[in-house]
Amino acid sequence: MTKKERAAFVINTLKELYPQIPVPLDHKDPYTLLIAVLLSAQCTDVRVNQITPLLFAKADNPYDMVKLSIEEIKEIIRPCGLSPMKSKGIHGLSEILIAKHNGQVPQSFEELEALPAVGHKTASVVMSQAFNVPAFPVDTHIHRLMYRWDLSNGKNVVQTEKDAKAIFPKELWNDLHLQIIWYGREYSPARGWDLEKDIITRAIGRKKVLDEYYKKTSR
């Protein structure tokens, strides 16, 4: 298959598997999504969804969040990991939203990435999921699968995002990045990978990846 044909196969297969696409992180508005995405760094979405109700019960908007101390936020979010950095980021960005954005989450990549603890991936998730602006946030699943499917060279997430945006139609980015995440979790994980279950990689996977898999499983 050519790269274009592989991309089309991915699109069509994911449409069949995920006609309805759930959003991994529970939220009710752009602010709660922003906080949830920030908490998800090096933490599972399942754990984040367990912790955010506790945090949002006390503060689900920047005005209430700044009433909490950084230490109070840190204690609530501790199970998500990196709590010292994340708590400072949550408190700091809430102050900036009040001071510069009338308490609203800005709708631009530049302004989002200027907020404390908000990187390009977090900004991309918020832009796509909260504001429906085309973006292609790359997490570990997408990075892994773009390489397995021979659609990217796997050097780094910056290159993977560039390759994804070049090969997939812009109007599909917001759906595709979520579909690939769900597919990676269910069919093509990093650990416990079963190629028989992974229908996309089995059909179009990079030869080097397939050879390594069969070599490993034949021992």
Rounded distance between C-alpha atoms, residue 41 and residue 122, angstroms: 9
18 DSSP 8-state letter = -
- How far are the Cα atoms of 52, 63, 164 from residue 24, in angstroms, in the given order? 13, 26, 20
Rounded distance between C-alpha atoms, residue 184 and residue 73, angstroms: 32
From 121, 150, 163, 198, active-site residue: 121
Our answer to whether residue 121 is catalytic in this structure is yes
| Rg value, the chain, Cα | 19
Rounded distance between C-alpha atoms, residue 181 and residue 195, angstroms: 17
Alpha helices in 18-151 (DSSP H): 30-39, 45-58, 62-65, 70-77, 83-101, 109-113, 120-129, 140-148
Our answer to whether residue 139 is catalytic in this structure is yes
Terminal alpha carbon distance of the chain: 29
By the 10 Å C-beta count (0-12 exposed, 13-18 middle, 19+ buried), 110 is classed as exposed
Whether 92 contacts 44, CB under 8 Å? no
From 45, 60, 139, 163, active-site residue: 139
Cite the active site residues: 121, 139
